[in-house]
Structure 1
């Protein structure tokens, strides 16, 4: 889908006029090999586009910026850079909810499973006097509308900042590709598939509260800083920003392409890799180990939760082009 967008929508001649170096950014790169694979795919697609337009002599040099929070393990990232890479690499620490690059300096931006992380939790979630106080839960799926609205409002605020920053940094005609967890349009927040999984984690913690292993105050003061929007929510924010044109937007289920049977134990390991750091920071490693051990023991019950969530497509894929 990215290759198709580059082939059909990216105007090489206009990008050449800006610089002899084509600059690409991966926002929320983390430290895994996935980011290198993604960047290589983008580079190959752009090179192919140059060649198809008879611009072989004008293929530029490439510079790739790997961005994540300053706490990201950039040492591991850079020691594992591919030796045969065809680009200059640089790290850019900092939140992508603000400016990271000079004005009109980027030609292509990529972000995968990063924009679902909120810049901060809404204060109302921890205020006992607020209607959005989320006691006994760690997410908004099974909570009140006030809690869900607080999450949605924070996402809108963050996304506006993200789009405003990228509007200044990406050149006219430049492209941005984003993949992030999402949900179908017009589905009630209580039925969102990702939330069903998070609620299962929360109920496991409450079991531990009832057994005296975790204090209720610890659970009351913890909320996952994650929001899974619908395509309609994203499209509305892009339209309000006014600097980008939506070239493609759709909701996908990547698991539909799996050839092997679904392995619930592997999925639990995936969830742990995704969330362990957030849980450990708040509860400590011993509690987190116990929580996931219990989830493994209840894998059949967790599998039912996944089966319910499988009825929904849960990845939003969208491509924006700077006007």
Structure 2
């Protein structure tokens, strides 16, 4: 048996905030839950139409992997939806007595709060559960071992920040910013290239792991094809955080550093060099992901991905996700000017999130050649019932998802002030939420191993 490769070298780890405290991901992921619920009907239809039970009858075990599971409870809801859909498929074909046992693998980075995850496992679950630590941009499972891959709100995370955007000698240096969404075209292209590379890795990995006839369903936050990166709500949020951090740093700002994207933390409104670096990283990551899954997926397996995205014609800067990052970057800039954080730390901080279009996803699958894209649909928007205001809901979700990487760069002391400033900026620019929501999209992708 060949040695199993350590996946930690393939990816930087920025897990969601663990535990069950007021700022935890477990208590601040209702928006993601809304899309899991909305995707249920599309997922069930995909299984009913595409899952080939003939190739499954030779085995009494149906293996499911949820990639980027975090700490729950959304992963448990998604798994239950998959089980119900598969069981109904068998029952509808008169195979009630041949319904297999279910093995579910919960995957996330090694730093994920797996203790919290396993403590929360449903007591009435109808499957065997196991944790699989590691990056999904590389191999996670044996060849042809997984029947059904699922991933929701995970593939927008790049495997790493593009190298160019933290290289002081690169034209794509994202100086003073933490994301691509309000940076130069160079920064945006760096993110785009990283995303394309990541998708290639993702699909190649899955192509090896998925069983014959397997499926993959992806739920991905996205943006319309014509929406600029800077107009995405998530990207605007990161811009605000970046602005807050800059407000905490020195008042003196280098006026000659436009090529370094000073004051930005994301690619979506940065230079072309930065955007290309992100695009290259995404492409590499997707290639790693798909190659790993291609080896792991079992005979007759499927992969379902839920991915935040953007419309094909939407610029990076106009994506709702990217607009959110831009706002966070703006907050960091504000904090840098007040001397509350180091300007150098802001200059070297970049958000490894890339919002893809449907065309980019289709291109990644086509380049990979191991999977067929059976379905690619946009999940309908859902209204989230909450006792807090829409702005506070956005703030709490953004903090739960990004606190870990911000704390790693700037320490814990700035967090309360940073997100309070972020909330104030959202209140001052409340129209961003309304306009960004109109262009925010989430994809559901269903893939089968060729």
- Work out which of the residue numbers 148, 168, 178 in structure 2 matches 1:128: 168
Could you say which residue in structure 1 is the equivalent of 2:55? Answer: 14
1:254 deviates by 2.5
Could you say which residue in structure 1 is the equivalent of 2:414? Answer: 287
Could you say which residue in structure 1 is the equivalent of 2:423? Answer: 296
Secondary structure in structure 1 of the residue aligned to 2:440: coil
- Work out which of the residue numbers 208, 211, 214 in structure 2 matches 1:171: 211
Q: Are 1:230 and 2:357 counterparts?
A: yes
C-alpha deviations, 1:197-227, integer Å up to 9, x for none?
1110101111111111112111101000100
Q: Are 1:240 and 2:344 counterparts?
A: no
Distance 2:126 2:98 in 1: 15
RMSD: 1.5
Distance 2:178 2:315 in 1: 18
Could you say which residue in structure 2 is the equivalent of 1:93? Answer: 133
1:299 deviates by 3.6
Q: Are 1:183 and 2:310 counterparts?
A: yes
Could you say which residue in structure 2 is the equivalent of 1:221? Answer: 348
C-alpha deviations, 1:82-130, integer Å up to 9, x for none?
1111110011111111111111100000001111111111111111111
Secondary structure in structure 2 of the residue aligned to 1:117: coil
C-alpha deviations, 1:227-252, integer Å up to 9, x for none?
01000001011011112111111334
Q: Which has the higher contact order (CA 8 A, sep 6+)?
A: 2
Secondary structure in structure 2 of the residue aligned to 1:182: strand
What TM-score does the superposition give when structure 1 sets the normalisation length?
A: 0.96
Could you say which residue in structure 2 is the equivalent of 1:65? Answer: 105
1:80 deviates by 1.3
Distance 1:310 1:203 in 2: 20
Distance 2:333 2:391 in 1: 22
1:278 deviates by 1.1
Aligned residues: 321
1:64 deviates by 0.3
CA contact (8 A) 1:252 1:313 kept: no
- Written as runs of structure 1 = structure 2, the 5 A alignment for 1:134-145 is 134-145=174-185
Unaligned runs of 5+ in 1: none
- Work out which of the residue numbers 269, 284, 304 in structure 1 matches 2:396: 269
CA contact (8 A) 2:319 2:440 kept: no
Unaligned runs of 5+ in 2: 1-41, 219-305
Distance 2:389 2:445 in 1: 26
Distance 2:135 2:141 in 1: 12
Deviating more after overlay: 85-94 vs 136-145: 136-145
Secondary structure in structure 1 of the residue aligned to 2:179: coil
Secondary structure in structure 2 of the residue aligned to 1:219: helix
Distance 1:288 1:154 in 2: 28
